[in-house]
């Protein structure tokens, strides 16, 4: 979807927003059976009690809305950049001067505040931009680094991977 739909801050208006996503997904599937729906939300917060509460609420609403197909919530704590850091070998494939610090590879990335700014500060030259994220993920996939249990630690990624792993294989 080109237009962002704000789920993390939605209180009583979560269900209509999910219904809009469902209508879009069904229209995209056209005559095919919808295999599943993944919804990405940058939490803009770390994985803590508030994360647990928000994840539970959105997941329950998603299950109610997407009864006919599996769904998964990609609730990235703090931002998707903290997930990208799980795949440090992908960064130099995108920009040869980029290196994720060893200390970052060992830390709990779900507790890293402002991951995007962290990459800008510590990654190297040229400076990281949000628009680099798709190329980094592509390099991680092509390099065979993406798995349900990458070597790094990020609880929000693990929760998402567990959601997707629970999907039945499409017939």
Helices 155-165 and 49-65 cross at an angle (nearest 10°) of 20
112 domain-assigned? yes
Reply yes or no on whether the pLDDT at 68 is more than 70.
yes
Q: 54 and 8 in contact (C-beta within 8 Å)? A: yes
Tens digits of per-residue pLDDT, 80-121?
Answer: 999 999 999 999 999 999 999 999 988 999 999 999 999 999
Assess if residue 138 is contained within a domain: yes
Strand partners, 41: 75
> How far apart are the C-alpha atoms of 67 and 10, rounded to whole Å?
21
| Residue 2 CB neighbours (<10 A) | 4
In a domain, 47, yes or no: yes
158 belongs to a structural domain: yes
pLDDT of 136 > 60? The answer is yes
pLDDT digits (tens, 9 = 90+) for 8-38: 566 667 788 888 888 888 888 888 888 889 9
Please indicate, yes or no, whether residues 70 and 19 belong to a single structural domain of this protein. Answer: yes
Q: Does 88 share its domain with 133?
A: yes
Tell me: pLDDT of 169 over 60.
no
Looking at residue 102, its pLDDT comes to 92
Q: Is residue 8, in this structure, part of any structural domain at all?
A: no
Region label for 45, one of left (φ > 0), alpha (ψ between -120 and 50) or beta (otherwise): beta
74 & 102 share domain: no
Pick from 57-71, 90-104, 131-145: least confident: 57-71
Residue 2 scores a pLDDT above 80: no
The total of structural domains in the chain comes to 2
Same-domain status, 101 and 121: yes
**What is the extent of the structural domain holding 112?**
80-142
Read off the pLDDT band of 171 (50, 70, 90).
very low
One domain for residues 18 and 74: yes
Q: Are residues 119 and 89 in the same domain?
A: yes
Spatial CA neighbour of 151 closest among 75, 87, 82, 83:
87
The whole-angstrom separation of Cα 129 and Cα 131 is 5
């Amino acid at each position: 979807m080109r237009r962002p739909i704000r789920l993390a801050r939605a209180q009583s208006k979560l269900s209509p927003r999910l219904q809009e996503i469902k209508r879009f997904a069904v229209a995209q599937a056209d005559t095919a059976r919808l295999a599943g729906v993944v919804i990405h939300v940058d939490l803009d917060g770390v994985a803590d009690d508030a994360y647990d509460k928000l994840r539970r609420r959105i997941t329950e609403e998603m299950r109610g809305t997407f009864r006919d197909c599996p769904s998964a919530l990609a609730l990235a704590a703090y931002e998707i950049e903290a997930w990208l850091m799980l795949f440090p070998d992908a960064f130099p494939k995108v920009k040869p001067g980029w290196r994720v610090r060893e200390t970052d590879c060992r830390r709990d990335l779900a507790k890293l505040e402002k991951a995007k700014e962290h990459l800008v500060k510590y990654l190297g030259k040229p400076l990281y931009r949000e628009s680099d994220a798709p190329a980094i993920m592509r390099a991680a996939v092509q390099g065979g680094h993406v798995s349900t249990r990458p070597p790094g630690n990020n609880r929000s990624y693990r929760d998402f991977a567990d959601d997707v792993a629970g999907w039945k294989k499409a017939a």
